[in-house]
Structure 1
Amino acid sequence: MFTNYKRQIILLMKAIISPFNLQKTRVNVFKYALLLFVAVQISSCGSAKKSSYFNEVGNNSFATYFEPLEPILQKNDLLSINITSLNAEVTEMFNLANNAGGAQPTGYLIDQDGFIRFPVLGKIEVSGLTKKELREYIREELISKKLLMEPIVDIRFMNFKVSVLGEVNQPAVFTIPNEKVTLLEALGMAGDMTIYAQRNNVLLISEEDGIKSTKRIDLTSDELFTSPNYYLRPNDIVYVQPNDRKVRNTSNAAQWFSVILGSLSLAVISISTFK
């Protein structure tokens, strides 16, 4: 890469120095300044397009993909299971994990075999179920065993988190209390992407049943709106990659090229001014 920069510097020096003479200095300075201005404008237009979302989206309607709103329960998920019924005194025994004497609720951790231990009902295999399926199972068990009358079962994730990393202004791990977050909302919580982000190549890392999967998402098109990845799942990781501009700006060769180009420009201006 540095060799390419050297070649560009040599060509630039030849272009600036070769036509120089005392009579044409100001004309050449104006000519190269104009070319530099045009190049910067063209570059700015291209950068602006690459740094915006959904460039080709018009007035359209999209059907929202809802499947991720009911994620599958997995090992290591931490659940809050709250029971209410007409008999508040009997119901209290089923909510011990949610009322730990003023301390932080412990909840129900799905173990490595996919089970939780629930009061009276004992071990329940929950891995692979949705919250709705587990809710119906517990309700039917409480009724069939005549433990409660008309119980209401509420299940929530206690560890619904997503991570946003890479070229964003505030990378962090975010807890989602309402268990519903879109990719765009997660990027918003992270302070949006920086100007150096690849908006057409965002990496989404998910895990289900111990198997990790990766997907590439283009945020310059409208494909996200009809994608199953529009809503994030628990423990999803969003990684925003840096673009070529960031890589160039952090390279020593680019820094030296900028210094040398600036020095040449100053020399040309000085010759023109003090002639």
Structure 2
Amino acid sequence: MNYFFVLKKSIPFFFLAVLFSCASKKDMIYYQDVDALGTQEKSNSYEIKIQPDDLLMILVSAEDPEIAIPFNITTNVTGAANPDGMGIQSSQLYLVDDQGCIEFPVLGKLKVSGLTRSEFLNSIQNKIANYIKNPIVNLRIMNFKVSIQGEVTTPGTYPISSERITLIEALSRAGDLTVYGKRNNILIIREIDGIKSYNRVDITKAGFMNSPFYYLAQNDVVYVEPNQNKINVAAVNPSTGLIFSVVSILITLTTLIITTSK
């Protein structure tokens, strides 16, 4: 048997075996301890808070439409589009300034930053009730989006048409994690009132569904770190071909020397 030939053919596979170890079950499977949680009486709830730079659509209506007109800015409908791709009245959009306020018809400047949707609605309805009987106020955040980076199939920034999305839903929109993504150390960057927080989530453990980061907030950034295998690929790939070529040449020269010396 030509042992040098066998050795020559085996070396590339040896290098690959060293570089890539098999991922264990605990590194890949989601919600591994979900059965231990049992039945939850109430699911974890989360209500986002209004922040500076949010774009709010606020519509006021009443039994008599004429009475509500002063509380709605009346300009022409434009071709602007919301995340659903539907036309909206740009006249009804209010940009929250860096002080967390908006200028609202009749009521003037309103502090809205830090309020949840329900808190804002209760507040503005009580104010408008001084002018209109049983007012109805509709509120929607029009620029709700999250950004997903790292080891997912399709990273990018995703507009959210509703006002609540879970981390799992967001990852699913991005095509889920690749085999190289670390499932036990997902980073969520969140900014509230100008202060950023950096939070780690382990989606292999079902308990994360009860964490404050199961539901994402507007403008959250989700980053999936690469696992060690991906890091090895990035570090070795540029020189792998060269290493294999050098080793192959050395084996060939050794074979020729031994052959000619016989």
User: Structure 1 length normalisation: TM-score?
Assistant: 0.73
SS in 2 for 1:46: coil
What is the CA–CA distance in structure 2 between the aligned matches of 1:117 and 1:138, rounded to whole Å?
12
Does the C-alpha gap of structure 1 residues 182 and 259 become closer, same or farther in structure 2, counting only changes over 3 Å? farther
Kindly provide the CA deviation profile for residues 142-169 of structure 1, in whole angstroms up to 9, marking residues without a partner as x. Answer: 122xx22211111111111111111111
Kindly provide the CA deviation profile for residues 110-144 of structure 1, in whole angstroms up to 9, marking residues without a partner as x. Answer: 11122111111111111222221221121111122
Q: Are residues 1:77 and 2:54 paired?
A: yes
1:203 Cα deviation after fit: 0.5
**8 Å contact kept, 2:50–2:115:** yes
Structure 2, unaligned runs of 5 or more:
81-88, 256-262
In structure 1, what is the equivalent of residue 110 of structure 2? 124
**8 Å contact kept, 1:78–1:108:** yes
In structure 2, what is the equivalent of residue 86 of structure 1? 63
Partner amino acid for 1:102?
T
What is the CA–CA distance in structure 2 between the aligned matches of 1:196 and 1:256, rounded to whole Å?
25
Structure 1, unaligned runs of 5 or more:
1-21, 271-275
**8 Å contact kept, 2:34–2:207:** no
In structure 2, what is the equivalent of residue 211 of structure 1? 195
**8 Å contact kept, 1:204–1:239:** yes
What is the CA–CA distance in structure 2 between the aligned matches of 1:134 and 1:74, rounded to whole Å?
12
What is the CA–CA distance in structure 1 between the aligned matches of 2:175 and 2:245, rounded to whole Å?
32
Does the C-alpha gap of structure 1 residues 212 and 110 become closer, same or farther in structure 2, counting only changes over 3 Å? same
Kindly provide the CA deviation profile for residues 227-255 of structure 1, in whole angstroms up to 9, marking residues without a partner as x. Answer: 11100011100011111111211223455
Identity value in percent:
38
Q: Which has the larger radius of gyration?
A: 1
What is the CA–CA distance in structure 1 between the aligned matches of 2:246 and 2:62, rounded to whole Å?
77
Match of 2:230 among 246, 257, 272: 246
What is the CA–CA distance in structure 2 between the aligned matches of 1:164 and 1:208, rounded to whole Å?
18
Does the C-alpha gap of structure 1 residues 172 and 223 become closer, same or farther in structure 2, counting only changes over 3 Å? same
1:196 Cα deviation after fit: 1.2
User: Structure 2 length normalisation: TM-score?
Assistant: 0.77
Partner amino acid for 2:171?
L
**Alignment length (residue pairs):** 234
